[in-house]
Structures are given as structure tokens and as C-alpha cells.
Amino acid sequence: MPDPRFAELDAFTTEELRSRAFALARQRGDVRFFWDLFRHLPHADDAEGLDNSTGAIGATVDDAVGLWREWTGHEYGEQEPLIRAALLDYVLVHEGERSGEAHRH
């Protein structure tokens, strides 16, 4: 059965989903989430040299957010559907963790 929150979240703009997902990732200290999102950006090939392991020296959530802003300027181009799906999925999966409800779809 589909998660009933899907329709509610799908009505949000991509920017609203980004804001919500980024807030969750910050709260969780989830640097890997950002590195996974970078794979969907048009400039992802430019980042081949980046170490996407969560143990990278100096790799923090704030670093990832800054790099995201630099690369996207909140414009996602043709990659928006993929990025939007990743953001929506992240919110669906992790938002319930705050209240102890691990929602999986």
C-alpha cells in the first residue's frame, strides 16, 4: 500500500522538498545523502575527484550544502525529475524517524 504522505509531499515544489530533505539530512548528519544527490547534477562529471565517503576529512553537511548551492543555484535543469524523486524519497523514509515511526514504502 502506498504511503499516504506521498500525495501531500508530491504537491510541494521541488524547492520545498529540497528544504525539507536538507533539514532532515542536517539533523541526521547525513553527508552521504548529499553526495548521492550530486550524482544527479549536470556537473557531476566535474566532481569525479571528490571523495564521497562519509569519512572524508573536512566533509561536513555544511560543506555539502555549500557545494550544492554553488553547483545548482536552485536550478536543476533536465535532472529535476530525478532530483525531485530523490528528495521526496528521502523525506518519506526519514521524516518518520523523528517521531519513531520508520515509514517505508
The amino acid occupying position 26 is R
85 pLDDT above the threshold of 90: yes
In a domain, 50, yes or no: yes
In a domain, 104, yes or no: no
Band the pLDDT of 65: cuts 50, 70, 90. Answer: low
Position 105 scores a pLDDT of 40
In a domain, 105, yes or no: no
Q: How many domains does the chain have?
A: 1
Band the pLDDT of 89: cuts 50, 70, 90. Answer: very high
Tell me what the mean pLDDT of segment 70-96 comes to: 83
Greatest mean pLDDT among 2-6, 15-19, 63-67, 77-81 lies in 15-19
Q: CB count, 10 Å around CB of 80?
A: 13
Domain residues for 77? 5-99
Band the pLDDT of 102: cuts 50, 70, 90. Answer: very low
Which residues have a Cβ under 8 Å from the Cβ of 10 and sit 6 or more positions away?
88
In a domain, 10, yes or no: yes
Rounded to two decimals, the pTM is: 0.70
pLDDT tens-digit map of 3-58? 889 999 999 999 899 889 989 988 898 888 888 887 777 665 555 555 555 444 44
Q: CB count, 10 Å around CB of 77?
A: 9
